[in-house]
C-alpha cells in the first residue's frame, strides 16, 4: 500500500445502518426536548435525573444493535494494514470495539463509561445511573456522570489526535456531516501535512470540497469497497 499512517474519523453515519439514529437526520428531539437541552453541563446541573435517563436509554439501546459491515471493514484494515491506523470516533456507542477494533479514540466520550466528578476518575458502567447511584470511586451519591462530551465541553484526546494527524499520509472521514468542530477541521490539518483526504458518506458533507476523493453511498457498501481497494494496494 502507498500509505503508512492512516487516520480515520467516524461519525453517526457509520452506525446508522446498525439502527442508531444520526444527529441531524432525525428530528433532533428526545421526548420533546431538544438535544441541546439534555446534552449540556447546565442541563445536568438543573435536572440530573432527566439527563441520566436520556443516557440510560441510549446505553440500553446498545444491547439491541450490532456492528455493520462498515465497522467490520475498519477493524479489518486496522488488523491487516502493515502501518498505523489511528481510529477516532465521534460516536459514544461501542460498535467499533464490538467489530474488533482494538484501538478507538472516543473523542466525544462513551456511553459505557462514567466519570466521578470529585476525582475525575473514569470507570466502566453497564447499569443505569441516577442521582442516587453510589459512586464506585468516592462513594458519594450522585457524583457519577456519563463520560460523554456535552455541548460546550472540550473533546477528549485532542493532543494524541494532533500528533496522529501530523503524521498522517491518508485521512478518511466516514459518516459525519462536518458540522461539529474540532472534528470538522481535521481534514484541513491533514491537508496541511500533505495527507491524501477521502470522504466516505451518504451525501456530500458540509466540508466536502475540502476532500480530494469522495465515495458517496451507504457506509456498509462504500467502506468495505474502499478498504478492499486499499488493502489490495491500489
The residue ranges that bind ligand OAD (CB under 6 A) are: 11-13, 16-17, 22-25, 39, 90, 108, 149, 175-177, 179-180, 201-203, 205, 218-219
Catalytic residue check, 108: yes
User: Which single residue brings its beta carbon nearest to ligand OAD?
Assistant: 13
Nearer to ligand OAD, 6 or 149 (CB): 149
Shortest Å distance, C-beta 88 to ligand OAD: 11
Which residue, 11 or 137, is less far from ligand OAD as judged by CB? 11
Nearer to ligand OAD, 17 or 94 (CB): 17
Least Å distance, CB 203 to ligand OAD, is 5
- CB of residue 207 to ligand OAD, shortest distance in Å: 11
Least Å from the CB of residue 231 to ligand OAD? 20
The residues near 168 (Cβ < 8 Å, ≥ 6 apart) are 5, 6, 7, 86, 190, 193, 195
Q: Which of 33, 106, 108, 214 is catalytic?
A: 108
Of the pair 52, 177, the CB lying nearest ligand OAD is at 177
Residues recognised as catalytic:
108
Amino acid at each position: 500500500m502507498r500509505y503508512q499512517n492512516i487516520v480515520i474519523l467516524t461519525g453517526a453515519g457509520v452506525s446508522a445502518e446498525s439502527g442508531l439514529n444520526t444527529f441531524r437526520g432525525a428530528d433532533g428531539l428526545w421526548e420533546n426536548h431538544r438535544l441541546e437541552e439534555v446534552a449540556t453541563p447546565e442541563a445536568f446541573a438543573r435536572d440530573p435525573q432527566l439527563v441520566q435517563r436520556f443516557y440510560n436509554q441510549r446505553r440500553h439501546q446498545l444491547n439491541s444493535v450490532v456492528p455493520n459491515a462498515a465497522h467490520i471493514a475498519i477493524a479489518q484494515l486496522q488488523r491487516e494494514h502493515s502501518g498505523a491506523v489511528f481510529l477516532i470516533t465521534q460516536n459514544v456507542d461501542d460498535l467499533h470495539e464490538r467489530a474488533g477494533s482494538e484501538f478507538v479514540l472516543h473523542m466525544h466520550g462513551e456511553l459505557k463509561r462514567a466519570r466521578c466528578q470529585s476525582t475525575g476518575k473514569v470507570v466502566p458502567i453497564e447499569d443505569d445511573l441516577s442521582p442516587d447511584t453510589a459512586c464506585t470511586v468516592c462513594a458519594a451519591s450522585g457524583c457519577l456522570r456519563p463520560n460523554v462530551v456535552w455541548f460546550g465541553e472540550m473533546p477528549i484526546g485532542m493532543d494524541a489526535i494532533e500528533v496522529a494527524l501530523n503524521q498522517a499520509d491518508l485521512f478518511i472521514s466516514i459518516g459525519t456531516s462536518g458540522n461539529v468542530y474540532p472534528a470538522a477541521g481535521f481534514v484541513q490539518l491533514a491537508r496541511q501535512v500533505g495527507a491524501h483526504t477521502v470522504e466516505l458518506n451518504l451525501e456530500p458533507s458540509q466540508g466536502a470540497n475540502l476532500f480530494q476523493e469522495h465515495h458517496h453511498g451507504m457506509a456498509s457498501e462504500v467502506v468495505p469497497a474502499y478498504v478492499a481497494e486499499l488493502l489490495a494496494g491500489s
